[in-house]
Structure 1
Amino acid sequence: MTSVLIAGGASGIGAATVRRLRAAGAGVHVADIDAAGAAAVVKEVVKAEHPGLGTSSYCDLSTPEGPGQAVADALAAHGRLDAVVFCAGLLVETELADFTVAEWDRTMALNLRAPFLMAQAAAPALVASPHGRVVLTGSTAAFRGGGGSFAYAASKGGLVALTRSLAVALGPDGVTVTCVCPGWIDTPFNDPYWQRVGGRDGAQQALEARIPLGGQGEPDDVAAVIEFLVSPGSRYLTGQAVVVDGGLLAS
């Protein structure tokens, strides 16, 4: 039975991924700084009709030690690790003149350093798995600019490049590495943007008018893609950024 570590699974896309993978019978360990939220998501999907373990632990992934601790906690709880899904992230929206070094460093620590450290720590267990998988969560911000999301966009661009390097490093051992890049998914994660532009009124309508499929996505739209990327069916897909944006980048 597949065992998956989901970093940042207490809310949003991470929580939707927990629900999907547990419903499919996978064992899931959720590592999140929101320990209560992680435990609640796991409890929600621990049902008799869903075999396998659902566990969680507190973890500050932005620290140098956090990603490795999350891997250790998952292995202690499940005894094996077949996939790592990194969903944790930080969005800071600040005008150029006001953007601080502290905001930059805090963003990079969680959005770029932590996924690397987690993949590094998980690599031995993933190599031992019959179908090891690493799925990182990027963003369409990796491919287009934003007027206040400087560190966020840079971190997600770096994550796409990191995906390629990890794919080359781990490919000979049968481990695939992919990056799912959501566009506008309607979650509280985007609140800093709405606050910077003065609220949703008007801004949301203008944004959604640019999306060919006619609106923002839902967390499960991304979780469905992640479910495929951690499955045995994705065995020949690696080193790629998979965009889930309703066609926004194409418009």
Structure 2
Amino acid sequence: MLIAGGASGIGAATVARLRTAGADVHVADIDAAGAAEVVAALAHHPGQGTAAFCDLSTGDGPAQAVVDALAAHGRLDAVVFCAGLLVETALADFTAAEWDRTMALNLRAPFLMVQAAAPALTASPHGRVVLTGSTAAFRGGGGSFAYAASKGGLVALTRSLAVAMGPDGVAVTCVCPGWIDTPFNDPYWQRVGGRDSAQQALEARIPLGAQGVPDDVAAVIEFLVSPGSRYLTGQAVVVDGGLLAS
């Protein structure tokens, strides 16, 4: 399996779950040292873990990650794309460069990776693609313009990939986390004046009463890449403690 963006957060939690289950996992991340640490910490589990540097925001980075995963493990049963960029800026200050940087990593890279991985996934007895979206695809954010747009695009991309790859037996889903407590959210806390003043109000809006942790999402991803998910495709699976329902 290939985990893009597995050096921290939800990606690292997903690597931990899959390696604990005995899966062979290749981690592609711009944080090569962090990815290597994640893999090394799980070396006692069955199967193999490998990691390599990859700048997924470049035009050839996603395909290189696929090449690296196949070279390391000889096959590819699943692609999980967890890498992402969050820019939080006032409307008047949001730049075209920030927009382009966000789209390159959050939307273009997943497409290029799946495109490159498609032949190997088709050859697998249960090929899987799991993209990491966000509840930002379904609600507004006062400073996350490119992020929200990219995640909305990712949900639409999931549907198109599911239609294109379904005849080859590949299931494509998108997991959409709500508020998961990781440093990824730091740009938001900074924009709203600090975590201490905003966290209580945020968590009061969540029916389960708290932010999630990375493993809450990783547990869902583990199911989505499993044979048991064979008839689930083209769907956005929300993991948000009930926030969108409120």
TM-score > 0.5 by shorter chain: yes
* Identity, % of aligned positions: 89
Rounded to whole Å, the distance in 2 between the matches of 1:53 and 1:21 is 11
Residue in 1 that maps onto 2:46? 51
Residue deviations 1:131-176 (CA, integer Å, cap 9, x gap): 0000000000000000000000000000000000000000000000
Following TM superposition, by how much is the alpha carbon of 1:202 offset from its aligned partner in structure 2, in angstroms? 2.2
Aligned counterparts, 1:39-78, within 5 A: 39-47=36-44, 50-78=45-73
2:9 maps to a residue whose letter is G
Partner of 1:150: 145
Does residue 164 (structure 1) correspond to residue 159 (structure 2)? The answer is: yes
Match of 2:236 in 1: 241
Partner of 1:8: 5
> TM-score when scaled to structure 1?
0.98
After TM superposition, give the deviation of residue 51 of structure 1 in Å: 1.2
Unaligned runs of 5+ in 2: none
1:30 aligns with 2:66: no
- Unaligned 5+ runs, structure 1: none
> SS of the counterpart of 1:248?
coil
Output the amino acid matched with 1:9: G
Residue 111 of structure 1 corresponds to 106
Aligned to 2:184: 189
Structure 1 stretches of at least 4 aligned residues deviating more than 3 Å after TM superposition = none
What's the counterpart of residue 171 of structure 2? 176
- Provide the rounded CA distance (Å) in 2 between the counterparts of 1:145 and 1:43: 39
**Equivalent-residue separation in structure 2 for 1:230 and 1:174 (angstroms):** 13
- 2: distance between equivalents of 1:246 and 1:56? 32
**Alignment map for 1:81-160 (pairs within 5 Å):** 81-160=76-155
Aligned pair count reads 246
Q: CA RMSD in A?
A: 0.3
Q: Could you tell me which residue of structure 2 aligns to residue 215 of structure 1?
A: 210
TM-score (norm 2): 1.00
